[in-house]
Structure 1
């Protein structure tokens, strides 16, 4: 969950990185009493995400700056739309501008890409989920953006759920430990509220995992034919997740195999920042910063 505490901590660090000893350009060129009014304008269509993060960049720079959010997180917009209006001391507006834009452009890019994936599978029962392939220290921001785009969050961290992947199973096999027995032992020791998921990469692994009574089975890098076979083999006894090789071109066919979840690392690790700009009003015109 993206909290104000997290926003202020991360945005504050970003502002300090960008202006560790102040913004000497604005301090040398702009008189202290100057004010500015600027519009956050969309250069292309997309889904808005990160409004409160954008506003925080200005609030933390100068509490006198006001930010009116015109668009809400999760709202689709067209090119040319005004998404927010910033007004207040010009020095602060100019100092915070790049950090505010960096966050909102990144988050809106993730939300927009997620929205496209969600649209591709809307006719199925599958949900689109993110992964832990996030930018270090920005996970809460990026996952908030995924939700804004209509997607769902996977486990937040290694502490939230048991997820046995191929390397875990390889270590068990190397030691001659039964996968079923190991999983059953783990489930017996866990709180009943803790979810258990296991990744498999071939059909013959499924029965041993099912026998342990896990909640979710991830079919990793399966062909479409094997995905359909895996869904039938599991037969509703666990949630079925598909992962690996998922793109906008392949996600529809993957979802149509009957899986419950399609996890997509590309939502966060490959999303392009959306083109948004902050235009300072000068009389009746807009001047791009």
Structure 2
């Protein structure tokens, strides 16, 4: 599953990046997520589409922490670890509104940073 954990990114920089991304993506609120019941919960998985070096876990986690702290992320690949196509990177569980509100920003960070790390 890859090499050991890499050093964490500076927390303040990660927080700033995430809050900028969420302001741009969600703005004053996620209208689509707002249509769902407040108490609805869901589970999701993130699966690698191709072989890559995983990078961006700190940003991914911060997105969901900002959307809803009750979201639980179970990682199956370490930061800096290699993945194969079809491999589950992580599993998420929690309030569906938070999952949907953070999905795009979280995946954008993971895709961009993993692409750079894989090059």
TM exceeding 0.5:
yes
**Equivalent residue, structure 1, for 2:38:** 32
Corresponding residue pairs, total: 112
In structure 2, distance between residues paired with 1:86 and 1:77 = 18
Bigger Rg over Cα: 1
Larger RCO: 1 or 2 (CA < 8 Å, sep 6+): 2
3-state SS, counterpart of residue 67 of structure 1: strand
Give the RMSD, CA atoms, in angstroms. 1.1
Q: Structure 2: any 5+ residue segments left out of the alignment?
A: 1-7
Runs of 4+ in 1 over 2 A off after TM superposition: none
Structure 2 length-normalised TM:
0.90
Alignment map for 1:167-182 (pairs within 5 Å):
none
Matched, 1:6 2:13: yes
3-state SS, counterpart of residue 38 of structure 1: strand
Aligned equivalent of 1:102, options 93, 103, 108: 108
Aligned equivalent of 2:98, options 92, 96, 114: 92
Aligned equivalent of 1:21, options 1, 20, 28: 28
Contact 2:60/2:109 (8 A) holds in 1: yes
Structure 1 length-normalised TM:
0.38
In structure 2, distance between residues paired with 1:85 and 1:67 = 6
3-state SS, counterpart of residue 92 of structure 2: strand
In structure 2, distance between residues paired with 1:111 and 1:66 = 25
